[in-house]
């Protein structure tokens, strides 16, 4: 028996056919992501300061979801995740605090063609407020006749690096790293009951400087997820050399780095966590049926 035969051929997490594994050159399997160019195709405009490259939700969905699954993004921003949902045939629910932005995002998402006829829903609210956010998520899932999702994506502000608004609920306005960390914990508490067991939560986060000190924001947030019983599957280091904030300020930053004895941030993290536990009975039954059919 070869190592390929020993590996499971069909994953319950995605639609990849491991018999054809050599053909998936577009799927990244290394923990260092050097993405030379943002995907600007379709309705991805890259005009929201603080958005992520569409390749992040794309990679996460290809590895950790199947067609028809549901993806929940609790910090939707300009809607990148839900645009990818429409392209890949995954239902999507996105929560964004700023109502005007949510409205714009919804319009843009709708303008992306929807060949798989899935449903994308944008809701306005505070993802850290368990009463409000859980009610919104329950309602959105109910509309598509579901109770759970199969992937959670969290791309929060990196604390105060970009101030997204003046709203007190906006976690880019948290008065301290400690409060920010607590808020991330609250969001994880909000989404966890909705995530199907064995499925993935993806956290996209960067570190920051404050008071001439490197603050490992990414690892603080990682710990909040781990404290809630998730299994850490991978930490991807993603190159962010092209990010807009620093692009025209290379020399100033280089001088500051030399003078201040630090290194300039050129990376952010994409962290992959798996929810432990047993799947709900309905899914077990589906899997049993599939196994019986194959037998
Ligand atoms: C880093 S951006 C996400 C960008 C997104 N991935 C994209 O590609 O456009 C973080 C977003 O979280 C939103 N936000 C901040 N606090 C929030 C909260 N408490 N609940 C929901 N959204 C919040 C901000 O308004 C901002 O749009």
For residues 121 and 94, is the Cβ–Cβ distance under 8 A?
A: yes
Buried b (16+ CB within 10 A) or exposed e, 126-152: bbbbeebbbebbeebbeeeebebbbbb
105-112 long-range contacts, Cβ below 8 Å, gap at least 24? 105/76, 105/77, 105/78, 105/79, 106/79, 108/43, 108/45, 108/78, 108/79, 108/83, 109/43, 109/79, 109/82, 109/83, 111/43, 112/42, 112/43, 112/83, 112/86, 112/87
CA of 97 to the centre of ligand 1 (A): 7
CA torsion angle 274 86 52 145 (round to 10): -40
Query: Can you tell me the distance from the alpha carbon of 31 to that of 283, in angstroms, rounded to the nearest whole number?
Result: 30
Structural fold of domain 41-294:
Rossmann fold (3.40.50)
Q: What angle do CA 135, 157, 50 make, to 5 degrees?
A: 115
pLDDT of residue 7: 52
pLDDT in tens, 32-67: 999 999 999 989 988 899 999 999 999 999 999 999
Instruction: Kindly state if the Cβ of 164 falls inside 6 Å of ligand 1.
Output: yes
Instruction: Kindly state if the Cβ of 279 falls inside 6 Å of ligand 1.
Output: no
CA of 240 to the centre of ligand 1 (A): 18
Q: Phi, psi (5° rounding) for residue 19?
A: -65, -20
Q: 3-state class of 91 per DSSP? A: strand
Q: Where are the alpha helices (DSSP H) in the chain?
A: 3-6, 55-64, 80-88, 99-111, 130-143, 177-191, 217-226, 244-247, 250-260, 281-294
Instruction: Kindly state if the Cβ of 92 falls inside 6 Å of ligand 1.
Output: no
Alpha-carbon distances, residue 155 vs 75, 210, 219 (angstroms): 6, 21, 14
Which DSSP letter does residue 146 get? -
pTM greater than 0.85: yes
CA of 133 to the centre of ligand 1 (A): 14
Query: Can you tell me the distance from the alpha carbon of 96 to that of 272, in angstroms, rounded to the nearest whole number?
Result: 22
HSE-CB of 292 using CA atoms within 13 angstroms? 6
pLDDT of residue 236: 98
Nearest CA, atom 18, ligand 1 = 126
- Domain limits of the chain? 41-294
pLDDT of residue 46: 84
Q: How far apart are the first and last CA of the chain?
A: 20
Query: Can you tell me the distance from the alpha carbon of 285 to that of 278, in angstroms, rounded to the nearest whole number?
Result: 13
Below-70 pLDDT ranges, the chain: 1-10, 242-248, 280-295
Ligand 1 probe mutation, 38, 40, 50, 238, most atoms within 8 A of CB: 50
pLDDT of residue 249: 77
pLDDT of residue 253: 86
Instruction: Kindly state if the Cβ of 120 falls inside 6 Å of ligand 1.
Output: no
Nearest CA, atom 7, ligand 1 = 51
Nearest atom (ligand 1) to Cα of 165: 25
Query: Can you tell me the distance from the alpha carbon of 54 to that of 110, in angstroms, rounded to the nearest whole number?
Result: 16
CA of 260 to the centre of ligand 1 (A): 31
Take residue 126 and report the two structure tokens written for it. 């505070």
Instruction: Kindly state if the Cβ of 124 falls inside 6 Å of ligand 1.
Output: no
Take residue 272 and report the two structure tokens written for it. 């992959």
pLDDT of residue 195: 98
């Amino acid at each position: 028996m070869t190592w390929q035969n020993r590996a499971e051929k069909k994953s319950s997490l995605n639609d990849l056919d491991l018999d054809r594994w050599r053909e998936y050159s577009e799927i990244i399997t290394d923990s260092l992501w050097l993405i030379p160019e943002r995907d600007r195709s379709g309705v991805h405009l890259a005009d929201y300061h603080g958005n992520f490259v569409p390749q992040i939700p794309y990679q996460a969905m290809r590895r950790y979801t199947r067609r028809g699954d549901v993806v929940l993004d609790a910090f939707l921003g300009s809607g990148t995740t839900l645009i990818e949902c429409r392209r890949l045939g995954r239902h999507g629910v996105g929560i964004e605090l700023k109502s005007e932005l949510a409205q714009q995002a919804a319009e843009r998402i709708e303008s992306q063609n929807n060949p798989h006829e899935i449903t994308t829903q944008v809701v306005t609210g505070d993802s850290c407020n368990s009463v409000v956010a859980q009610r919104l998520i329950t309602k959105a899932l109910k509309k598509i006749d579901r109770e759970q999702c199969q992937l959670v994506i969290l791309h929060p502000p990196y604390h105060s690096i970009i101030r997204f608004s003046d709203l007190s609920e906006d976690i880019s306005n948290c008065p301290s790293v400690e409060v920010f960390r607590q808020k991330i914990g609250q969001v994880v508490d909000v989404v966890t009951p909705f995530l199907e067991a064995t499925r993935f939560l993806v956290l996209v986060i960067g570190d920051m400087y404050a008071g001439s000190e490197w603050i490992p924001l990414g690892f603080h947030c990682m710990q909040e997820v781990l404290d809630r019983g998730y299994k850490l599957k991978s930490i991807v280091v993603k190159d962010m050399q092209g990010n807009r904030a620093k692009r025209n300020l290379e020399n100033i930053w280089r001088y500051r780095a030399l003078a201040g004895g630090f290194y300039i941030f050129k990376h952010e993290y994409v962290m992959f966590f798996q929810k432990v536990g047993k799947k709900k009975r309905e899914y077990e039954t589906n899997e049993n049926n599939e196994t019986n059919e194959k037998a």
